[in-house]
Amino acid sequence: MRRFYLVVFFIGHVLCLNAQSIAPFKAGDRVAFIGNSITDGGHYHSYIWLYYLTHFPSRRIQLFNAGIGGDVSKQMYERLESDVFAKKPTVVTLTFGMNDTGYQNLKGAKADSVYAAKVAESLKSFALIADKLKLHPEIRTIMIASSPYDETAKIKAAPLLKKNAAMQKIAKAQRAVALESKWDFVDFGTPMTAINLRGQQTDSAFTLQGSDRIHPTNDGQMVMAYIFLKSQGLAGSSVAKVTVNAKNKKIVLAKNCLITQPDISTDGVRFTYLANSLPYPMDTIPGGFGRPDKAQSEALKIIPFTEEFNKEMLQVNGLQDKKYNLKIDGKVIGAFTGSEFAQGINLALIKTTPQYQQALAVMHLNEERWTIERRLREYYWIHYSILKPKGLLFNDGDATVDSLQKYGKKDFFVAVTIPTYQKARFKAVRDAWQKEMDLLTNEMYTANKPVPHRFEITLVD
């Protein structure tokens, strides 16, 4: 336990050193996350949306995955109009740097020369992106310095030396342009590198970046979501907090919730509870890039997310030094002593509460929406990465399918994406997927509304 708190202190210190406060999303915001495969196939934007869904259930926003695997800044610039501005965003987040620095395995002066050229080329296209964004003053821009390339983990994949240093040069330029352009800025690279180095002190194979040193696994994606939410100044905002004094028969505190129909004594406590938020559910099913054994919930070993973002506290002072059942809506949630109630119980960690179960349903709806959106992103990846360079952008004819099937024989990524493309090339299919996503989003904003629950704290017989 002491080691966990040391890690929490260390991570908090690193984030404070690199913190820049940015405004939270507001009702009606349409946020497009522009990036490469780390965004395209990643979950961080979905995890961010899940926080807004559960903590601000009436603040409706829309988040879009605008990532394309393999993209560099030049390709992002070329698809701004058709793939980003077409979504009519009020906010865009922009991140690049991983692919821009290349994947060459060079040493010494040769490596320095190649990386310098690649950084310069990337920043040239970045200047064009900045100029294009200036033409859209109605769009708020959040520059995100890329998650890092992990050169130090002792894992099977050989590291590309000096790659992360080249990425940091791009990040430095991104910060400078953000400052000059009055954009918001969030740094994923510095704190994630610090977390990796800290973890590698006791486990040389530790990494947030997965087996390829590039793509954060789902726990790493949750760390990215945490960094982003913390940058938005949202840490410390409770799900709810209820404090009861059983001796005085009073509700002492009802934070972010409404308490009605109280019936309080030292023998037991009863009240009706309506919170303004839901607890944040953590997916325990492994998935994501690289390491299939990593789940979102694994991030809780690394970041103080529960302490800062997910506290639904029930505290009852003045109970007898005996054991009490906690029932919610007639169902026993757990048995706790009077001293445990006095210390406070974080209901957000109890997965059997009806409010956590409600939040789980929201999480699964959001995951289903993410899965459908990923199919659409695979379709756009084929177009922007494979067909556009051949002059076939949005040409979905039979001849294009034949060409892709031939191309897939020498490109594994094309081969595995063709089955999705063959469906998505029909506009009716894409429209149906979009309608399904819209339906899921509507359902997310119906299922996320907190409802009243009757709490009973009674002596165990």
Taking the C-alpha atoms of residue 369 and residue 45, their distance in angstroms, rounded to an integer, is 12
Asked if pLDDT for residue 8 goes beyond 80, the answer is no
| Residue 413, number of CB atoms within 10 A of its CB | 16
pLDDT for position 290:
56
Paired tokens of 307: 């302490």
- Residue 20 contacts residue 183 (beta carbons within 8 Å): no
Q: Which residues pair with 62 in a beta bridge?
A: 30
pLDDT for position 277:
98
Asked if pLDDT for residue 30 goes beyond 70, the answer is yes
pLDDT tens by residue, 126-144: 999 999 999 999 999 999 9
Residue 67 confidence class, pLDDT cut points 50, 70, 90: very high
CA-nearest of 386, 425, 431 to 407 is 386
pLDDT tens by residue, 168-212: 999 999 999 999 999 999 999 999 999 999 999 999 999 999 999
Taking the C-alpha atoms of residue 250 and residue 69, their distance in angstroms, rounded to an integer, is 57
CA distances, 339 to each of 1, 315, 328, 336 (Å) = 21, 10, 20, 8
pLDDT for position 7:
52
| Residue 183, number of CB atoms within 10 A of its CB | 20
Residue 2 confidence class, pLDDT cut points 50, 70, 90: very low
pLDDT for position 107:
86
Asked if pLDDT for residue 14 goes beyond 70, the answer is no
Q: Which whole number is the average pLDDT over 361-381?
A: 97
pTM exceeds 0.85? yes
Q: Which whole number is the average pLDDT over 388-393?
A: 93
Topology, domain 2-231: Rossmann fold (3.40.50)
Q: Which whole number is the average pLDDT over 51-74?
A: 98
pLDDT tens by residue, 424-461: 999 999 999 999 999 999 999 999 999 999 999 999 98
The ranges assigned to domains in the chain are 2-231, 240-351+451-459, 359-447
pLDDT tens by residue, 228-241: 999 999 999 999 99
Class of domain 240-351+451-459: mainly beta
Q: Which residues pair with 325 in a beta bridge?
A: 335, 458
Taking the C-alpha atoms of residue 142 and residue 184, their distance in angstroms, rounded to an integer, is 5
pLDDT for position 185:
98
